[in-house]
Amino acid sequence: MTATAARVPAAGVRSRPALAWGLAAAGAALVAAAMLSIAVGSKSIPIGTVLDALLHYDPRIDDHVVVRDLRVPRTLLGLAVGAGLGLAGALIQALTRNPLADPGILGINEGAGLGVLVAIGIVGLSSPWAYVWFAFAGAAASAVLVYAIGARGREGASPVRLVLAGIAFTYVLHAIGRAILLTDSATFDRWRNWIVGSLASADPGVIVAMLPFLAVGTAIALALTPSLNALALGEEAGQALGVHRGRTRALGAVAVTLLCGAATAAAGPIAFVGLMVPYAARMITGPDYRWLVPYSLVLAPILLLVSDVVGRVVTRPSEVGVGVVTAVVGAPLLIVLVRRRGRLPRL
């Protein structure tokens, strides 16, 4: 990677101090969203009680038990899943050069769903800790196969070929999964709790299991930002700047698989986060992925945690899955942003 490649593109990039202050403000908003997630639910708990439960836990106090055993794991899962989806969305939009692309474009969500179906319907597993590995394996296998199909031919894994291969493979996996469900009603009853996308059944074991994958995926995503900047100028310009296109796409696909696969396996397929957050972050940072990727990392958990809180309070004492909330709230917001922008943001 050349020094020049690390600096491009320059057009449209905001000043570093402004971006740094904005990222700090987003970090403060993330802390506030995490505290909101712990304090608000079917039963609201005062912030003072929350802090007391975190610092001076007493198992004899019901609110302390709710905070430590239920709300904290749920919030940690939201932070991890949101970060993974946000980073995966930023990467897939950069790799396909499409600001409205979604991590599901590589069939990762559908592959994870099929893995869960196999774990529940064929292997007979019921614990999230058990089937999370099947979901992750399905997501990884889908991404590898889509990349292998899209990379065939002289042109290699071009953005258009990857998109077409991903869409085609997604429909194939969807058909296989529905065939399994139609023949086994018991599997459908267990699987539907996962497919809506929810943080309600947060399991500390599942969170621990997904952290290594998220850590590796995050490290790769951050390391790729100079290469993504160069590729944003175009295929020929990126190659002239010393960027190895095939290696960058392959590493990006690995990172997307790790991030989105682990997040989907842990919480189910949550739509819209990987689409909306990088799009919104690009409006703040411009096309510089050295800032866009960190912003996506911070903003996505905010969206997910706030959506989860909304889902908990709108139908008290029951709740709506966070995947439903992000889709219902996010889609109109995306339409508004596109109309205000008047055109797609520059990649």
In degrees to the nearest 10, what's the CA dihedral of 83, 88, 90, 95? 160
CA distances from 83 to 31, 98, 108, 217, 273 (A): 14, 20, 16, 10, 10
Q: Mean pLDDT over residues 177-204, rounded?
A: 77
User: Do 58 and 64 meet the contact criterion of CB atoms below 8 Å apart?
Assistant: yes
Residue 161: per-residue pLDDT: 76
Among 340, 318, 321, smallest CA distance to 329 is for: 321
d(CA 40, CA 280): 26
Residue 98: per-residue pLDDT: 73
Percent of the chain with pLDDT strictly greater than 90: 31
Q: Mean pLDDT over residues 110-135, rounded?
A: 80
Residue 307: per-residue pLDDT: 93
Percent of the chain with pLDDT strictly greater than 70: 86
pLDDT tens, position by position, 255-283: 988 898 888 888 888 878 988 899 889 88
User: Do 309 and 200 meet the contact criterion of CB atoms below 8 Å apart?
Assistant: no
Residue 10: per-residue pLDDT: 46
Residue 341: per-residue pLDDT: 54
Among 128, 260, 301, smallest CA distance to 206 is for: 128
pLDDT tens, position by position, 217-256: 999 999 998 888 887 766 665 565 667 777 888 898 889 8
Top pLDDT among 136 and 46 is at 46
Question: What residue type is 225 in one-letter code?
Answer: T
Per-range mean pLDDT, top range of 1-10, 11-20, 71-80 = 71-80
Residue 310: per-residue pLDDT: 92
User: Do 272 and 279 meet the contact criterion of CB atoms below 8 Å apart?
Assistant: no
Among 258, 248, 247, 273, smallest CA distance to 211 is for: 258
The domain over range 3-341 is classified in CATH as 1.10.3470.10: yes
Top pLDDT among 64 and 117 is at 64
Please state at what angle helix 108-117 crosses helix 245-267, rounded to 10 degrees.
40
Residue 205 CB contacts under 8 Å (≥ 6 apart), including other chains = 129
pLDDT at 137 over 80: yes
Among 70, 217, 190, smallest CA distance to 127 is for: 190
Burial of 25 (0-12, 13-18, 19+ CB in 10 A): exposed
d(CA 7, CA 206): 39
d(CA 217, CA 236): 27
Token output for 115: 């893995």
Question: What residue type is 265 in one-letter code?
Answer: A
CA distances from 178 to 105, 112, 142, 173 (A): 19, 14, 17, 9
Residue 34: per-residue pLDDT: 96
Please state at what angle helix 128-150 crosses helix 204-223, rounded to 10 degrees.
30
